[in-house]
Structure 1
Amino acid sequence: MASNPVFNRFNDDLDKGRVAADQPQYGQFGTPDQQRAAQYGYPGGQQGYPGQPQGYPGQQGYPGQQGYPGQQMGGYPGAPMGQPDLEKAYEAPSATARQSGRMTVDDVVTKSLALFGILLVFAAVGWFVGAANPGAGMALWMGGMIAGIVLGFVISFKRVISVPLIIAYAVCEGLFIGAVSGFFNNAYPGVVGEAVLATLCVFAGMFAGWKFGLIRVTERSRKIFGLMIMGYFLFAIVNFLLVLTGVIDNPFGVGGSGPLGIIISVFAVGLASYSIAVDFDSIQRGVNAGLPEKYSWLMAHGLLVSVVWLYIELLRLFARIQRN
């Protein structure tokens, strides 16, 4: 829960030009007019199959193939275009990102709302199951957390985007969130409402800060942030194992609910908050790069990871403060 490898892997691939390597049809990042020119094969058109000459007017259907002398213009799909057709192609309005199958911000918003809707539905299931049967609730807590971590890493490092896995992750995280929220609400009344409200406020604040340039995301800040996340993730694993094995007799682990524990939680909330700003910046980079529409699922998944992480850290922070 303490890291978001989705956008780390995505940004590394984007910087190295590997993001759409398995989908070469989306590898054209020119203007819509240039891509239309490439499609119809006049000067500046796209290269044909390996070893074929570059296309020019009068070429045959496939990009890069040379037309036969005296070949008639038009007549079937992919046939060479005459001068009037070329002029129409140039004068036609540029295709929108949606029409050309590229990812848009609206796509990411739609997919994000769908995933958060799934998460909330199964969070309600986890909450009520835990309230009716604490043992089953604990099973959902531990099982959902472990399954979510495993699925999160599989999705992050899988070269092909798998929508079913992304949906399964939202289901597992929903069961986990519902079960753990029910437990915290019983142990520390009121903290769930506080954590939900704080999560919404931080999310809105980070978006506004990033949008208006108050919070900047640079290549250097990404690297520093990545190292900090890695360190905190390792700390969280060790801390969890110490509590699980009984070495530390405190549900919060290192620092407990004292000043040190509160400082650790504040630090974690800061990391999770900046992670959301990095997510916004990564989404914008993906839209600007003209990524395929299917990447909107990956962007939405990464945003879900960060928001869930932020909520958990805020829940722990408020519980520590109440217990202190």
Structure 2
Amino acid sequence: MASNPVFDRFDKDLAQGKYAQFGQPQYGQYGTAQPYQPPQREPYQYSGQQYGQQVPGYDPYAGQPGQPGPQGYGQPGYGQPGYAGPQGYGAPTGTEPGARRMTLDDVLTKSLVLFGILIATGAAAWFLTSGNPRLSLPLWLGGMFVGIALGFVIAFKKTVSVPLILAYAVVEGVFIGAASQYFNTVWPGVVAQAVLATMCVFVAMFAGWKFGLVRVTDRTRKIFGLMVMGYFLFAMVNLVLQFTGVLGGFGFFSMGIFGIALSLLGVALASYSIAVDFDSIQRGVSAGLPEKYSWLMAHGLLVSVVWLYIELLRLFARMRN
């Protein structure tokens, strides 16, 4: 999702041209990127000074600085820059050895892995809480808060941490499974409706973005990010009021038509975030991001889909009331 700092950080780095030279060979000497240029030579002559000529500052026999000594075949003296070459000492490489660029197949593969983990752990949490309903609330709340914490750690971590991303998928699976089992017990059939609706919205947003019906621009990204930030803060305040007993049920979201309108706003924001994710993934592939960022892209997409599912689940539950 665009409000997800994962894509916020990527968009900022991309705008600054951080990945512009990834995968391109770098040249230079002692940290200076310069293209390789062969030394200029006179026809049939050695370049530089000839063998046997004396230069100040070098004495191979006395070993003392400041004494003249021979220097052969135009070799550069100590401290002087040598010829620039493709693998010059200190030349920036721009990437780790063996690294390659991210592709759409990479993002798709990592997404399937993360969603597979989410579904597997979600099913385990579902069956566990169905046999012991007292575990529903602890697993639900524990998964939610641990997931939020892991999400921020992953987003603001300077390097891509695959173990943390995998752990996030496990935690979100526990959260989804426990919450879904509770909702389905109170409102039978609501989980199936939410799952089907999530799949339909996902496909619709992909088609809309692909064919230009849903546009993602820098301006809409900024507006959308501010809206999601405000919605997130409102949801946190609503959650606190629920736990303190000031508001019952779903809090502000239980207030009849007003509550349903808030849920529809959440669904709309979550739906558009998926389109923003698709656009960010395409930009990352076009910019030539390192392959390891495919894990981060898949993680961001997982966050948006889970958000959309929860919003739809709560919307259908409120409509039952």
TM range (shorter): 0.7 to 0.9
Q: Residue 288 of structure 2 aligns to which amino acid in structure 1?
A: G
Q: Show the counterpart of 1:233.
A: 232
Shift, 1:257, TM fit: 5.4
The question of 1:295 aligning with 2:276 is answered no
Cα distance between partner residues in 1 of 2:225 and 2:182? 31
Match of 2:316 in 1: 318
The change in CA–CA distance for 1:2 and 1:195 in structure 2 (over 3 A counts) is farther
| Deviation (angstroms), 1:52 | 8.1
Distance 1:171 1:51, change over 3 A: closer
Within 2, Cα distance between the matches of 1:69 and 1:299? Answer: 54
C-alpha distance in 2 between matches for 1:52 and 1:320: 61
User: Distance between the aligned counterparts of 2:292 and 2:28, measured in 1?
Assistant: 26
Is 1:147 matched up with 2:140?
A: no
Give the ranges of 4+ consecutive aligned residues of structure 1 lying more than 4 Å apart after TM superposition: 51-54, 66-71
- Secondary structure of 2:251 counterpart: coil
Higher helix share: 1
Deviation at 1:120, TM superposition (A): 0.4
Partner of 2:109: 110
Amino acid at match of 1:272: A
Corresponding position of 1:49: 30
2-structure distance, mates of 1:249, 1:3: 28
- Residues 54 and 191 from structure 1, CA distance in 2 versus in 1: closer, same or farther, beyond 3 angstroms? same
Does the residue aligned with 1:216 lie in a helix, a strand or coil? coil
Q: Which residue of 1 aligns with 2:15?
A: 15
Q: Deviations over 1:106-132 (max 9, x none)?
A: 000000000000000000111111111
Q: Structure 2: state its 5+ residue gaps.
A: 41-46, 49-71, 76-84, 87-97
Q: State the structure with more CA Rg.
A: 2
Q: Please name the residue that 2:44 is paired with.
A: none
Q: Is the 8 A contact 1:209 1:215 kept in 2?
A: yes
Query: Residue 182 of structure 1 aligns with which residue?
Result: 181
Query: Normalising by the residue count of structure 2, what TM-score does the alignment of the two structures yield?
Result: 0.79
**8 Å CA contact 2:2, 2:8 repeated in 1:** no
Structure 1-normalised TM-score? 0.78
Which whole-Å CA distance do the structure 1 matches of 2:278 and 2:149 have between them? Answer: 24
Over 3 Å counting, the alpha-carbon distance change for 1:50 and 1:192 in structure 2 is same
Partner SS, residue 147 of structure 2: helix
Matched AA of 2:251 = G
Cross-structure match for 1:247:
246
Structure 1 residue 70: Cα displacement: 10
- Give the structure 2 partner of residue 204 of structure 1: 203
CA-CA distance at 1:228 after TM superposition: 0.1
Seq. identity, %: 64
Name the amino acid aligned to 1:238: V
Aligned equivalents of 1:209, 1:118: Cα separation in 2: 28
- CA–CA distance in structure 2, aligned partners of residues 188 and 48 of structure 1: 68
CA contact (8 A) 1:152 1:169 kept: yes
Q: Name the CA distance, whole Å, in 2 between partners of 1:17 and 1:246.
A: 49
1:130·1:138 contact (CA, 8 Å) conserved in 2?
A: no
Task: Tell me what 1:28 maps to.
Answer: 21
Indicate if the aligned counterparts of 1:124 and 1:178 stay in contact, CA closer than 8 A: yes
For residue 268 of structure 1, what is the amino acid of its counterpart? G
Give secondary structure in 1 for the equivalent of 2:159.
coil
Contact 1:206–1:215 (CA under 8 A) maintained in structure 2: yes
Instruction: Specify every segment of 5 or more residues in structure 1 that has no aligned partner in the other structure, as ranges.
Output: 21-26, 40-45, 60-65, 72-79, 82-98
How much does 1:139 deviate?
Answer: 1.1
Distance in structure 2 (CA, Å) of the matches to 1:52 and 1:278: 36
Give the residue type in structure 2 aligned to 1:223: K
Deviation, 1:58, is 7.2
User: Is residue 163 from structure 1 mapped to residue 156 from structure 2 by the alignment?
Assistant: no
Question: CA offsets per residue over residues 148-201 of structure 1, 9 Å max, x none?
Answer: 000000000111110000000000000000000000000011110000000000
Q: Number of residues paired by the alignment?
A: 273
Find the counterpart in structure 2 of residue 274 from structure 1: 272
